[in-house]
Amino acid sequence: MRIDYRISLPLLFSLLIAGCDDPSLSEEKAKVGPAEQDPLACLPVAGITPICGFKNPEDLVQLPGTRHLLVSEMGEFMMDTPGKLLIYDIDAARQQDLPINWSSQAEVWGDEDCMAPEPGLFSPHGIDLSHRGDNRTQLLVVNHGGREAVEFFEVLAAPGGWTLQWRGCALPPGDPFINDVVALSDGGFLVTHMWNKSIAFEEVGRRLLNGEKMGWVWEWQAESGFSFVANSQQVMPNGITVSADNEKIFINVYMGNKIIKLDRASGMLESAFDVRQPDNVTIDDDGMLWIASHQHDPLNESCTAEQGPCLLPFQVVRVDSETMLGETVIDHQGAPMGYVTVALKVGDEIFMGSAHGDRLARTKLN
């Protein structure tokens, strides 16, 4: 583990994956200070239990009706290096490979003209799991491998495990750098666009630090393709989710230090909640939003984890999707894990992933 401290724009964006503390946050939050323990030990600290043996497990979803997590192991940020998808069995505490059948099928869920990617280049980022109208299980994956695309998969139960069948893809227009995706019940999806890759890197940094709204959200539909979501242009949109009825859109604005709520039909910006550097957002069955929030100084702190975890400080913030009022549930710095990019509620626990490091983590909710 090595932490470098120096001021440079490349360091800023080597950490942006995917402020201001809101005064309405509950005083009941769990405050955890620095831990005096070797981070490579992979032992519980302050009620947080690490689960080691991963590589950059950036995003998580739960397979419905199971105690299995589907994990997106992301390649190095902005390098588009290959990564993979795998299954973690919570009760058996075991990882399982997730085979992918990339062969073209007669049934296509994406753009009819979108060809399969090169499997060896597959570089997953944000993921989302949903039921289609025929009750089949769909996985959407942001893929940076050789192109910027959203890949469609069908999740299939098989003897001894799970498999994925590729069902097509969709390529956003222009030269986008996309991040996270969420399925819509009508077969479409929403995907966040952070900035255009064709813009020089130093210029991207200058514009974002000046508060320029370089990113937005695309909506894709099979009949019409990609369209711009009104009022979604923000300073680096990151995580995204929707309400159960698909009427409200929730967007994490990483460099704007907030999550915003949009009405999907009218495009009206209904409300916002201040949260520092919000990465991914998940929504539970009770309509609560769970947000992974970074607490480091993005100008002066970076983390290069040669082994073990990145230990940059983080919070997990819970926000009511109806009222947009929230509280900090976890506030942590130190071992056994840091730089959390996703928080997923499973039963009475929160499971956390990170875009840098070798582990997931879990903790009980009070």
The DSSP annotation for 258-321 comes to EEEEEETTT--EEEEEE-SSEEEEEE-TTSEEEEEEE-S-TTT---B-SSS-----EEEEEEET
At position 82, the amino acid (one-letter code) is P
Q: Is residue 336 reached through a cis peptide bond, with omega within 30 degrees of 0 on the bond before it?
A: yes
The Cα 128–Cα 147 span in angstroms is: 19
Instruction: Please list, in sequence order, all residues whose beta carbon lies within 8 angstroms of the beta carbon of residue 250, skipping any fewer than 6 positions away.
Output: 240, 241, 242, 243, 259, 260, 261, 262, 281, 283, 289, 321
Q: Binning pLDDT at 50, 70 and 90, where does residue 12 land?
A: very low
| Long-range contacts from 131-135, C-beta under 8 angstroms, 24+ separation | 131/64, 132/187, 133/185, 133/187
Residue 38 pLDDT exceeds 90:
no
What gap in Å lies between CA 41 and CA 345, rounded to an integer?
25
Q: Answer for the pair 187, 168: CB distance below 8 angstroms, yes or no.
A: no
Rounded Cα distance between 196 and 265, Å, is 26
> What ranges do the domains of the chain cover?
9-364
pLDDT digits (tens, 9 = 90+) for 42-64: 999 999 999 999 999 999 999 99
Give me the chain's average pLDDT, please. 89
Predicted confidence at residue 30, as pLDDT, reads 42
CA atoms within 13 A on the CB side of 35: 25
Q: How confident is the model at residue 32 (pLDDT cuts 50, 70, 90)?
A: very low
The percent helix, strand, coil of the chain (3-state, each to 5) is 5, 45, 50
- Name residue 215's amino acid: G
- The answer to whether 12 and 4 have CB atoms below 8 angstroms apart is no
- pLDDT at residue 18, as a whole number: 38
pLDDT for 295 equals 96
In eight-state DSSP terms, residue 10 is: H
pLDDT per residue as tens digits for the range 273-300: 999 999 999 999 999 999 999 999 876 7
Q: What pLDDT is attached to residue 55?
A: 95
Which pLDDT tens digit goes with each residue over 348-364? 999 999 999 999 999 99
Q: Stretch 116-133: mean pLDDT, rounded?
A: 96
Q: For residue 76, what pLDDT is reported?
A: 83
* Confidence band for 37, pLDDT divided at 50, 70 and 90: low
56-94, pLDDT tens digit by residue?
Answer: 999 999 999 999 999 999 988 778 899 999 999 999 999
Residue bearing the bigger pLDDT, 319 or 30:
319
Determine the pLDDT at residue 28. 38
Burial of residue 20, with CB atoms counted within 10 A of its CB: 0-12 exposed, 13-18 middle, 19 or more buried: exposed
Q: How many CB atoms lie within 10 A of CB 327?
A: 15
Q: Is the CATH number of domain 9-364 2.120.10.30?
A: yes
pTM here is 0.90
